[in-house]
Chain A
Amino acid sequence: MTTAEYNKCVDDFSDSVYRFILKNLRDEDKAKDVVQDTFEKMWVKAADISYPKAKSYLFSAAYHTMIDMIRKDRRQTHFDMVKPEDHSHTEQYNDLNEILHHALNQLAEDQRSVIMLRDYEGYSYREISQITGFSESQVKVYIYRGRQHLKKYLGRIEALV
Chain B
Amino acid sequence: MDYLDGEMSPDQVIRLMSFLKENPDLKTELEEFEEINIEPDKKIFESKITLKKRFVVNDSNFDDFCIASLEGDLNEEEATLFQNWLQENPLKVKEFELYKKARIIPEKITFDFKSTLKKSSGGRIFTPKVWGYFSAAASIIILIALYIFISQPGANENTVISEIITDTTTIETKPQTSPEPQTKTEVEKENIPFNKPGDSKQQKIKLRSNNIIEKPVITQDVNIVPDKSNRLTKPVTIELTLNKIRLKEINTLPEKSILVALVPVKNFEVFENTYSGLTLSQKAVKSFKSEILMEEKDKINPDVLTLWDIADAGIRGINKIIGWKMELDKEYDENGDLLALGFDSNIISLYHTMNK
Total residues of chain B contacting the partner, CB 8 A: 30
Binds B, one of A13-21, A68-76, A83-91: A13-21
Complex Cα distance, B64 from A84, in Å, reads 35
Evaluate whether A101 and B104 lie within 8 angstroms (CB atoms) in the complex, with A143-B71, A144-B64 already known. yes
Complex Cα distance, B124 from A28, in Å, reads 26
Chain A residues with Cβ under 8 A from B107's Cβ?
Answer: 19, 23, 97, 101
B-facing residues in A16-46 (Cβ within 8 Å): 17-19, 22-23, 32, 35-36, 39-40, 43
Q: By the criterion CB–CB under 8 Å, are A10 and B114 in contact?
A: yes
A-B contact count (CB 8 A): 88
Binds A, one of B95-103, B200-208, B258-266: B95-103
Q: By the criterion CB–CB under 8 Å, are B99 and A151 in contact?
A: yes
Complex Cα distance, B116 from A39, in Å, reads 10
Complex Cα distance, B114 from A15, in Å, reads 9
Q: By the criterion CB–CB under 8 Å, are A147 and B109 in contact?
A: no
Chain A residues with Cβ under 8 A from B130's Cβ?
Answer: 40
Q: By the criterion CB–CB under 8 Å, are A35 and B70 in contact?
A: no
Complex Cα distance, B95 from A148, in Å, reads 11
Q: By the criterion CB–CB under 8 Å, are A15 and B111 in contact?
A: yes
Binding site for B on A (CB under 8 A): 3-4, 6-7, 10-11, 14-15, 17-19, 22-23, 32, 35-36, 39-40, 43, 96-97, 100-101, 103-104, 115-116, 118-120, 143-144, 147-148, 150-151, 153-155, 158
B268 to chain A, nearest CB (A): 50
Complex Cα distance, B103 from A36, in Å, reads 29
A57 to chain B, nearest CB (A): 14
A-facing residues in B114-164 (Cβ within 8 Å): 114, 116-121, 124, 127, 130
Name 14 extra pairs, CB < 8 A, besides A35-B111, A36-B116, A119-B103. A3-B119, A6-B119, A15-B111, A22-B109, A23-B107, A36-B117, A39-B117, A97-B105, A120-B104, A144-B64, A147-B67, A147-B99, A150-B104, A155-B95
